[in-house]
Amino acid sequence: MLVKKAYKFRLYPNQKQMELIHKTIGCSRFVYNYFDSGAVYLLNRLNR
């Protein structure tokens, strides 16, 4: 039998860390959306 455990925790970042977190998430979102739109473009071209 497999037993799974989970830990719940909360972070309290300071202002500089919050800024870095927001920049990282923003860049990740940009890259994801960029490549996702490229994939949609290719799928639309192939299905014509």
Supply 10's token pair. 């909360």
Taking only the tens place, the pLDDT of each residue in 21-34 is: 999 999 999 999 99
Taking only the tens place, the pLDDT of each residue in 34-46 is: 999 999 999 999 8
Instruction: Please check whether residue 3 lies inside any domain of the structure.
Output: no
Distance CA 40, CA 10 (A): 37
Residue 20 domain boundaries: 15-48
Cα-Cα-Cα-Cα torsion 44, 45, 46, 47, nearest 10 degrees, comes to 50
SS3 assignment for 2-42 = CCCCCCCCCCCCCHHHHHHHHHHHHHHHHHHHHHHHHHHHH
**Is this prediction's pTM over 0.75?**
no
| DSSP summary character for residue 46 | H
Tally of domains within the chain: 1
